[in-house]
Every structure is written in C-alpha cells, then in structure tokens.
Amino acid sequence: MSKTVCVVIGLAGGSGSGKTSVAKALARDFKNKGAVVIEQDWYYRNIPEDSDINVADWNFDHPDSVEFPLLIEHLKSLRKGIPIDAPQYDYKTHSRMEKTRRIYPQPVIILEGILILDNPELRELLDIKIYVDTDADVRFIRRLQRDIHERGRSVDNVITQYYKTVRPMHETFVEQSKKHADIIIPQGAENYVAIDVLKTKIKWLLREAHGR
C-alpha cells in the first residue's frame, strides 16, 4: 500500500481546556480535504479484573493509564496509509467496549489528549504540536459540567477526583509538557486568531507535502 501524505496535529492541554472544541473546529474546516480526529481517551487501559482498586482511586490522568504503545502503532499505520481499528472506551463502566471504530487514513489527522506531548515517541510522529492553555478555574468548571451531564458522575465524585489525581497529575505531567509545543493557544477554540494562524500553517504543510 502506498504511503499516505498527511499532516498529523497533536492537541494537548489540561482536562477541560478546550482541546476537543479546537479539534472539532479544525476537522470541520478541513472536512473537504479529508480530516479525522483520534482521541487519546479511547486508549485507556481497563482496570484489571482481579484488582481490588476502587474506580474512584484509579488514576486516569497518569501516563500509565493509557496504552500508548498501541496508540503509537496505530498512528504509524495511518501515516503509512493503513486503516486501524481504534478501541472505544465507556466512561460509565470504565472499560473498553467490545466494538472498535474503523479509522481510515486522511490528509489531516488530529490527535487530542491531555498527555500526548508528554510521550517522546508520540511527539516524534506529530507535524504540529499544540498546547491549549486555559485557566484552572475554567477547566474545572467545564470538567464538572461534562462529567455530571455526560458521564453520570456526582459532584462529590468529580471534586474528590480533581483534588486527588487530576490537579496533581496536571502539574506533574500535563503542564510541563507545554514546553514541547510549537504553538500555545490561550482560550481554546474561542481564540479565533490563533485558530486561523494554525489553519494557514496546516494548509501550507499540505501543499508542501504534495509538492505544490
């Protein structure tokens, strides 16, 4: 199979920073050229069945919670023009679903997740590395609303998890990964100027990749 000419964009930032909104905006703008969004969260590992760890104590924000070797393998396959069967994660059961999602190579591949700039091997596969920078209070409020309305969690559960793992892991792994970013976007998708600059860069890379 011939190699696919593509641009791979990595979108990192804290939980609730607006990464998903930026990813959707880019995917929408490059829909005609062909774009696909891949979520780091799809690659969460299952909590071991023989483990006595309570779900509330499981650290979803540590790099070990994500099966990065599989994500890296899949991204390499897409760059070679090979379709993948990406895992899908159920946030309510905290486990992977039996079904997978077939992802076909596209000219624009957008990978988003809180830890993607923390992994050196993964960074090597990214043509553009972006960090979405949003104030902590805004990120917390967004996370609170999302987890309650979309993932069926209680207010107490979200707050406990935030103080126990989300905030310390953000300070240890996510925030420090900002130094690897090519572009830092304050305010996420609401920063229209930054999004327009990013789109211009992606178009330039696509033209360069196709030799015109």
Domain boundaries, the chain: 7-202
Helices 19-29, 192-209: crossing angle, 10 deg rounding: 50
- pLDDT tens for 77-109 read 999 999 999 999 988 778 899 999 999 999 999
**CA-to-CA dists, residue 123 to 5, 12, 72, 181, 198, angstroms:** 18, 11, 10, 9, 18
pTM for the whole structure: 0.90
Output the CATH code of domain 7-202: 3.40.50.300
Could you tell me if 185 and 133 are in contact, meaning their C-beta atoms sit under 8 angstroms apart?
yes
Nearest CA-CA partner of 195 in 125, 128, 137: 128
DSSP code for 1: -
Q: What is the pLDDT of residue 2?
A: 42
Q: What is the pLDDT of residue 5?
A: 75
Q: What is the pLDDT of residue 23?
A: 94
Q: What is the pLDDT of residue 95?
A: 87
Q: Give the Cα separation of 149 and 146 in Å (integer).
A: 5
Q: What is the mean pLDDT of residues 36-53?
A: 85
Q: What is the mean pLDDT of residues 33-45?
A: 96
Q: What is the pLDDT of residue 94?
A: 80
